Amino acid sequence: MKHTIVNRSAHILSSGYDPDGRALQITFHNGETHEFKGVPEQIHQAFQNSPSKGTFFHKFIKARFHGEKI
């Protein structure tokens, strides 16, 4: 899965999305990558367009989708 670097985020380094598997991967500045399954394309697009990736992540992804460290 190709990751895109997230600019100006204190916690998130990069993210990648697989639309077929509806899986969102997020790599944090601490080096950990977590995968969240069942994330709809609309949520991924909203995350990409959000001015604060960290705030969006905590409100709309972490709170709603199970993530596993990979």
Q: Write the Ramachandran bin of 68: left for phi over 0, alpha for psi from -120 to 50, otherwise beta.
A: beta
Residues in the chain: 70
pLDDT, tens digit, 9 for 90 and up, residues 43-63: 999 999 999 999 999 999 999
Contacts of 63 (CB under 8 A, 6+ apart): none
Does an H or E element contain 42, and which?
helix 41-49
pLDDT over 90 at 7, yes or no: no
More confident residue, 5 or 36: 36
Q: Which helix (H) or strand (E) holds 3?
A: none
Q: What domain range includes position 26?
A: 4-69
Looking at the 3D structure of the chain, how many domains does it have? 1
- The pTM of the full predicted model, rounded to 2 decimals, is 0.88
Question: Tell me, what's the pLDDT at 4?
Answer: 76
* Averaged pLDDT, 16-45: 95
- Tally the C-alpha atoms within 13 A of residue 19's C-alpha that lie toward its C-beta: 3
Residue 8 predicted with pLDDT over 90: no
